[in-house]
Amino acid sequence: MTRTPVNVTVTGAAGQIGYALLFRIASGHLLGADVPVKLRLLEIPQGLKAAEGTAMELDDCAFPLLRGIDISDDPATAFDGTNVALLVGARPRTKGMERGDLLEANGGIFKPQGKAINDHAADDVKVLVVGNPANTNALIAQAAAPDVPAERFTAMTRLDHNRAVSQLAARTGAAVSDIKKLTIWGNHSATQYPDVFHAEIAGKNAAEVVNDEAWLADTFIPTVAKRGAAIIEARGASSAASAANAAIDHVHTWVTGTAEGDWTSMAIPSDGSYGVPEGLISSFPVTCAGGRYEIVQGLEINEFSRPRIDASVQELADEREAVRGLGLL
């Protein structure tokens, strides 16, 4: 039986994450080796020519699963019938720009894109926001899409999750595959909190294996939280291949499920769990099954973790107030 292709829209398709992402979507890493895809690339007019070049390269790969590529600078066209929307294109912070200016500039992108998703996407659309500030951009898009169930709007903290797993593996000598149940809480920003207190390393409690709170506080947490800045410093450009890889992981896990005995981190609309105000798009430990996610409940939050989670959540609440003030919600 021939499967109907899944429509995948990628915004900012001509950017550096787009270039690292599109080939992996087309080769089956996003949705599975038996799922054909149609790509919809959204760019601003200045990016269209480069997007066309990328589409030529995608053609030249002769991917068996790739059933078409459309390129547009019109959100209504790019999101028409889309099942998976990866919102990557965003306005980067430029010199002298205040955070409020950045939120306003991104409001001009994510509000119309949210409306286009509302009006044109498929009923089962799933949205991942990668473009920064990702959590609040997701909130802006969600607010502009009242007909789409709110839980379909998510933002990416999987890169932070993967970074934390990698740092923990390096410190303990464990294999990455032995590390389970790590959590990123809060915002995809320097305030995020990577939590190892419920994580396991080959079945043992990770915090007990590490047994060094000073290392957690002074090395592990800042290394993970400031990794994006360290990559920019080293590369002269922000993370691209690792960000694309995390976007693939986020959607793949959402669609295909978490492994038994493990969970992942996704920024999702809060239902009030763990004291995170309802509606904020904040990172939580989640399990996925059947194309849906659920917050892992009942975790004890200790004295080390509580203020760190609260600080990141407070930043999200402040960002929500700022975009409310700008009339974006």
Ligand X SMILES: NC(=O)c1ccc[n+]([C@@H]2O[C@H](COP(=O)([O-])OP(=O)(O)OC[C@H]3O[C@@H](n4cnc5c(N)ncnc54)[C@H](O)[C@@H]3O)[C@@H](O)[C@H]2O)c1
Ligand Y SMILES: O=C(O)C[C@H](O)C(=O)O
Which of ligand X, ligand Y, none is residue 89 near (CB under 5 to 8 Å by kind)?
ligand X
99 among annotated binding-site residues: yes
Please, are residues 190 and 160 in contact by the beta-carbon 8 Å criterion? no
Among 156, 182, 196, 221, binds ligand X (CB under 6 A): 156
The 3-class secondary structure across the chain, one letter per residue, is CCCCCEEEEEECCCCHHHHHHHHHHHCCCCCCCCCCEEEEEECCHHHHHHHHHHHHHHHHCCCCCEEEEEEECCHHHHCCCCCEEEECCCCCCCCCCCHHHHHHHHHHHHHHHHHHHHHHCCCCCEEEECCCCHHHHHHHHHHCCCCCCHHHEEECCHHHHHHHHHHHHHHHCCCHHHEECCEEEECCCCCCEEECCCCEECCEEHHHHHCCHHHHHHHHHHHHHCHHHHHHHHHCCCCCHHHHHHHHHHHHHHHHCCCCCCCEEEEEECCCHHHCCCCCEEEEEEEEECCEEEECCCCCCCCCHHHHHHHHHHHHHHHHHHHHHCCCC
Query: Judged by CB under 6 A, which stretch of 12-20, 172-180, 206-214, 285-293 contacts ligand X?
Result: 12-20
Least gap, CB of 238 to ligand Y (angstroms): 4
Indicate which residue of 161, 188, 198, 250 is catalytic. 188
Positions in 14-43 near ligand X (CB under 6 A): 14-18, 42-43
> How far is CA 16 from its chain centroid?
16
Q: Which two tokens stand for residue 41?
A: 């690339």
12 among annotated binding-site residues: yes
14 among annotated binding-site residues: yes
159 binds ligand X (CB under 6 A): yes
Binding site for ligand Y (CB under 6 A): 132, 159, 228, 231, 238-239, 243
113 among annotated binding-site residues: yes
Query: Judged by CB under 6 A, which stretch of 1-9, 13-21, 279-287, 311-319 contacts ligand X?
Result: 13-21
16 among annotated binding-site residues: yes
Among 117, 164, 165, 243, binds ligand X (CB under 6 A): 243
13 among annotated binding-site residues: yes
Which of ligand Y, ligand X, none is residue 109 near (CB under 5 to 8 Å by kind)?
ligand X
Among 35, 240, 317, 326, binds ligand X (CB under 6 A): 240
Angle, nearest 10°, between helix axes 241-256 and 16-26? Answer: 40
15 among annotated binding-site residues: yes
Taking the least distance from each CB to ligand Y, the nearer of 134 and 255 is: 134
Which of ligand X, ligand Y, none is residue 90 near (CB under 5 to 8 Å by kind)?
ligand X
Q: Which two tokens stand for residue 140?
A: 């802006």
Catalytic: 252?
no
Among 114, 131, 194, 279, binds ligand X (CB under 6 A): 131
- Tell me which residues touch ligand X (CB under 6 A): 11-12, 14-18, 42-44, 47, 88-90, 92, 109, 130-132, 134, 156, 159, 188, 238-240, 243
Annotated catalytic residues are: 188
State the binding site: 12-18, 93, 99, 106, 113, 130-132, 163
State the binding site for NAD(+): 12-18, 106, 113, 130-132
State the binding site for substrate: 93, 99, 132, 163
